[in-house]
A and B are shown apart, each in its own frame.
Chain A
């Protein structure tokens, strides 16, 4: 990916936010997280763009003491996604896009394909909050501390919730 020519972003002296680097590092992760949350690919694109736009405008408000840049960005993305959910007032059907994108190739082993189908189904049966945790962990690549910062809970609490979600997920996969 080529470097982007940014129009001299305005930053306060207290923040050392490299927005371009953050954008390049987190763009796909934010999209994946929002897509899992909204379960609507088109909406995820729009909301992700809106989240980056909002983050760009609010980059002065970033305080390093309150968490990492990624946690701050995903907090904004989360609010944008939840606002979208509130606005739509409807639950979108689980987007089939992830399955299409990761559709099994001829080289895939049949057992692997079956297990991934089971995981996908189990993921769809999780509670929205549990699914969000999985998305933050495995689709966005956040560690437990960043997840805690995004959700506004303690690190221990985030770990406990994640443990519960993962346990449910494994049980669902094993019983599939």
Chain B
């Protein structure tokens, strides 16, 4: 529609001057009775409306839509609560994961500790071998304190049978001990990679090495396992250093006396060498080609036995010289930052950490609530706008057909 031009304004003024008296004469005037009723209603503050009308269709829609946000808010609140509870349930899963990781670490320790070799050894070796397991499970203590753990199963100690030990192995100075250890560290998800590198560096620093490493990290989780081999004298220092890298959830050590296996391997080597020397002497005295050939064949077999015995001696020596350490890293957002050892007391630092944690949870819940409520509010707003537009359009249409 074109704008009102000055000329149109002048024309409009003329038109109004021309028609105004007649148009104003057509103005409807209210009845005196109605005026009195209206004045009475006004005096009463319109407490008793002239006619209680049924809400219009638009108003009914508005009431329906206004009830929508209430329902939506209730649904969102339920959803947020469900998410919070499921988040806490996820924490329990983490704890279970910890236990599982610990179990895995123990298993790795057993395997790397030469359990299969022990099993393959002679029964005498198994009889003479004594093993002890120490467990300093902090998680068990913590869970016990929290009243969440199942009662620990009793440990039954079986008295050793007769014949344990031998004069050749019972000398205290000749004992050969194989030691292995496992530790589970709770680490903040963002620090898992860094802690894994520190573990590797620690192995190097202790003149050891990393046998295997599997590390996975993500923004909210992750974890990893590392298997180290460190000189046995450095095992305690290594474990102490590892404990500084995260929150110790589980720690265990295994000690096995492999003196008998060592003696057995050495004896086999000495026997083979003695037989080789004997064969060499017999070879010098041999006079026939057939006897010479038989001795040479036997010498080859004995040489192979010597090599096998040497390898066995090296293996069993290595088992006592180096210790296997299984390190499990588990994601734990509540863990103290790497390098901060938790002494169990609750101080300002812990309070600050807890405060940050609470804020993180609040922010997370708020974000989830926002993610739920924002689309809902948008939909409700659109519906309200549509209802309003529909009402306006309906009114204008009603005027057109009037």
Chain A residues, Cβ within 8 Å of B23: 119, 123, 134, 137-139, 169
B43 touches A45 (CB 8 A): no
Chain B residues, Cβ within 8 Å of A53: 41, 46, 49-50
Q: Could you tell me which residues of chain B, from 384 to 402, have a CB within 8 Å of some CB in chain A?
A: 394-402
B399 touches A82 (CB 8 A): yes
Answer yes or no: A16 CB below 8 A from chain B CBs: no
Answer yes or no: B11 CB below 8 A from chain A CBs: yes
Chain B residues, Cβ within 8 Å of A157: 1, 3-4
B49 touches A49 (CB 8 A): yes
Closest chain B residue to A115, Cβ basis: B22
Cβ 8 A contact of B399, one of A45, A85, A98, A102? A85
Answer yes or no: A41 CB below 8 A from chain B CBs: yes
Whole-angstrom CA separation of A38 from B402 in the bound complex: 8
Answer yes or no: B71 CB below 8 A from chain A CBs: no
- Knowing A128-B402, A129-B399, the reply to whether A28 touches B8 (Cβ < 8 A) is no
A56 touches B45 (CB 8 A): yes
Inter-chain contact count A-B, CB under 8 Å?
165
A49 touches B4 (CB 8 A): no
Whole-angstrom CA separation of A101 from B11 in the bound complex: 30
> What does the 1/0 interface line of B363-402 toward A look like (CB < 8 Å)?
0000000000000000000000000000000111111111
Q: Could you tell me which residues of chain B, from 1 to 32, have a CB within 8 Å of some CB in chain A?
A: 1-4, 8-9, 11-12, 15-16, 18-20, 22-31
Chain B residues, Cβ within 8 Å of A46: 50-51
B27 touches A98 (CB 8 A): yes
- In the assembled complex, the CB of B40 is this many whole angstroms from the nearest CB of chain A, namely 9
Answer yes or no: B237 CB below 8 A from chain A CBs: no
Answer yes or no: B42 CB below 8 A from chain A CBs: yes
- In the assembled complex, the CB of A52 is this many whole angstroms from the nearest CB of chain B, namely 7
Closest chain A residue to B57, Cβ basis: A86
Whole-angstrom CA separation of A50 from B30 in the bound complex: 15
User: A residues near B, CB below 8 A?
Assistant: 1, 4-7, 9, 20, 23, 27-28, 31-32, 35-39, 41, 44-46, 48-50, 52-53, 56-57, 79, 82-83, 85-87, 91, 95, 97-99, 101-102, 115-116, 119-120, 123, 128-129, 132, 134, 137-139, 156-157, 159-163, 166-167, 169-170, 173
Q: List 8 A-B contacts (CB under 8 A).
A: A6-B42, A49-B51, A50-B50, A91-B401, A119-B23, A138-B19, A156-B4, A160-B8
